[in-house]
Amino acid sequence: MTENWAKVVQSLQNMDIGALGAGMPGAGAKQPEIRFSPAKLQALQQQYLQDAMGLFSQSMTAVVPKGDKRFADEAWGCNPVAAYAAAVYTLNARAMMALADAVESDEKTRTRIRFAVEQWMAAAAPSNFLAFNAEAQKKALDTKGESIAKGMQNLLHDMRQGHVSMTDESVFEVGKNVATTEGAVVFENAYFQLIEYKPLTTKVYERPFLMVPPCINKFYILDLQPENSLVRYAVEQGHRTFVVSWRNPDASLAKATWDDYIEQAVIKAIAVTQEITGAPTINALGFCVGGTMLGTALAVLAAQGEKPVASATFLTSLLDFTDTGILDVFIDEAFVKYREKEMGKGGLMKGKDLASTFSFLRPNDLVWNYVVGNYLKGETPPPFDLLYWNSDCTNLPGPWYAWYLRNTYLENNLVKPGKATVCGEKLNLNLVDMPVYIYGSREDHIVPIGGAYASTQVFPGKKRFVMGASGHIAGVINPPAKGKRSHWIRADGKFPKSQATWLEGATEYPGSWWPDWSAWLKSHAGKQIAAPKTYGKGKYKAMEPAPGSYVKAKA
């Protein structure tokens, strides 16, 4: 046991942290020094040996670890070999995580080691292997091998489609049972289609409303089903609503830059919305990377002396990239330089690679859970619109991606006045002076709540910040009718530097944050006027029904 412990410690000290950070072998990054306190190491070793001896003495009467849903089925407790395997795995996982926490190095190295160990332990769980998974073995016996045959079919199916199935994708069709809010495409160029939605009220607010979703995903996360569609909700509240539907990049967009997307997409969408409605100003919303792009566009326009947007909403968006959470483990100079060399002048960041990266941020929930269910137990995952959207991935232009990595995650240039130049203008977000509504999700692992809150320190105008429960998507897509989750608001309008301090003065309210946002948006929407009878105006005519053709293109 002592010899095994020494090997484990040595493996951590030899871990290729540079390769982990750069995302590829041989990144060339200097290996950081990894040390352990001898006293702490000795204490961990003694604890491990004590726990291991206790487990060894139980032999085949080991108790299945409680609280781990991977081993929750009663079949694990009825199978001594499986129970023992689960107990040994849990002991080793606990020891490995304790070792990762005991590393003495810089904070980024410590985070990377912990991330690597978490990936290692998630992959090594006995539940992932038929030889140890008592639940899968029992099902195979109960079904006379049918579950294994079905599992092989599922494996072959997923190999053909190129990703692990998280839901029954055959149930869904874009435009048929997701992305169904009625509307029409009224403009398109090489980067996006602009969708105008049919009013559901006899009167609409005079100031139109434009949504900018992330180009890293498809827009219909905002329009899944009628009962959970933020698009439909906005239309029902009386807003003349437009949405950017991004084109799924192919070779023709392989050289598209961040500047192209800001000028030819976000700023263009704002201008076309103004032209169609005749409104001197509009209200706008950006979600996730869409919020980063909207903020960039507003800074460009401000530098040009233009303020076509009267108010802006930012949903789980980063503008200040100081706090980027777990994604920071991938970002360093070597990684960014590699990507710049690989695709900075042209190329595509494949959607399936992006999707895989995001899935492995939560490996047990978004990877191994489906490996076990689909292949070992031969199950078909149930239909779930959000997971269908999650699997419907998009590519990114290489130059756009390379600029984004360096100027946001690596150098955090957007919040440094004059540091970043976009569309020929030096950016200064301090000039983006307008009312803003900022939303962050408490358990968001992609845009940490502290990162979302940091935007309150960026914009100089009147602000409202709301924190919702749950994560990056479920926190946002939380319709009022469901009565789920909570949200937090601070009534005194103060925005201290840290989100934790802000929370101390906030009040929790049950249910969705949508009604609060709706009331805020209406206060910036102007008077009500007769709803339009047709889509578009003048040269902007209905080209095809919503959701359009761009959203249907596969990566």
| Residue bearing tokens 């070992």 | 376
pLDDT band at 14 (very low <50, low <70, confident <90, very high): low
Number of H helices, E strands in the chain: 21, 19
Q: Which residues are catalytic?
A: 288
Q: What is the mean pLDDT of residues 459-468?
A: 97
Q: Which residues pair with 545 in a beta bridge?
A: 184
Q: What is the pLDDT of residue 2?
A: 53
Per mean pLDDT, which range of 63-67, 208-212, 360-364 is the poorest?
63-67
Q: Which residues pair with 544 in a beta bridge?
A: 185
pLDDT band at 23 (very low <50, low <70, confident <90, very high): very low
The sign of the CA dihedral 15, 16, 18, 21 is negative
Contact (CB, 8 A) for 293 and 388:
no
What's the alpha-carbon Rg for the chain, to the nearest Å? 26
What is the torsion angle, in degrees rounded to the nearest 10, for the CA atoms of residue 177, residue 180, residue 185 and residue 189? -50
Reported as half-sphere exposure (CB side, CA atoms, 13 A), residue 253 has a value of: 26
Q: What is the mean pLDDT of residues 315-324?
A: 97
Reported as half-sphere exposure (CB side, CA atoms, 13 A), residue 293 has a value of: 32
296-318 pLDDT, tens digit each:
999 999 999 999 999 999 999 99
Q: What is the pLDDT of residue 20?
A: 47
| Other beta carbons within 10 Å of 382 | 9
Q: What is the pLDDT of residue 64?
A: 82
Architecture label for domain 183-323+407-552: 3-Layer(aba) Sandwich (3.40)
Distance of CA 56 to the CA centre of its chain: 42
Rounded to whole angstroms, how far apart are CA atoms 93 and 125? 9
Calculate the average pLDDT of the chain. Answer: 92
526-555 pLDDT, tens digit each:
999 999 999 999 999 999 999 999 999 988
Judged against a pLDDT cut of 60, whether residue 4 lies above it is answered with no
249 sits in the region (left: phi over 0; alpha: psi -120 to 50; else beta) called beta
State which H helix or E strand residue 196 sits in.
strand 192-197
Rounded to whole angstroms, how far apart are CA atoms 292 and 288? 7
Q: Percent of the chain having pLDDT more than 90?
A: 80
State which H helix or E strand residue 337 sits in.
helix 333-343
Per mean pLDDT, which range of 127-131, 158-162, 250-254, 314-318 is the poorest?
158-162
Q: What is the pLDDT of residue 167?
A: 94
Q: Looking at mean pLDDT, say which of 1-15, 38-52, 489-503 comes out highest.
A: 489-503
175-191 pLDDT, tens digit each:
999 999 999 999 999 99
Judged against a pLDDT cut of 90, whether residue 294 lies above it is answered with yes
Q: What is the pLDDT of residue 53?
A: 85
Q: What is the mean pLDDT of residues 144-153?
A: 96
Q: What is the pLDDT of residue 269?
A: 98
Judged against a pLDDT cut of 90, whether residue 276 lies above it is answered with yes
Rounded to whole angstroms, how far apart are CA atoms 233 and 237? 6
CA distances from 386 to 36, 172, 183, 217, 512 (A): 43, 11, 21, 12, 18
| Residue bearing tokens 């001197």 | 280
Q: Which of 252, 185, 251 is nearest to 219 (CA)?
A: 185
377-393 pLDDT, tens digit each:
999 999 999 999 999 99
Domain locations in the chain as residue ranges: 2-142, 183-323+407-552
What does the block give as tokens for 534? 């047709």
Burial degree of 77 (CB within 10 A; 0-12, 13-18, 19+) = middle
Q: What is the pLDDT of residue 33?
A: 76
Using DSSP's 3-state secondary structure scheme, residue 20 falls into: helix
Rounded to whole angstroms, how far apart are CA atoms 431 and 434? 9
Q: What is the mean pLDDT of residues 58-83?
A: 85
Q: What is the pLDDT of residue 1?
A: 54
Distance of CA 81 to the CA centre of its chain: 39
Using DSSP's 3-state secondary structure scheme, residue 356 falls into: helix
Burial degree of 260 (CB within 10 A; 0-12, 13-18, 19+) = middle
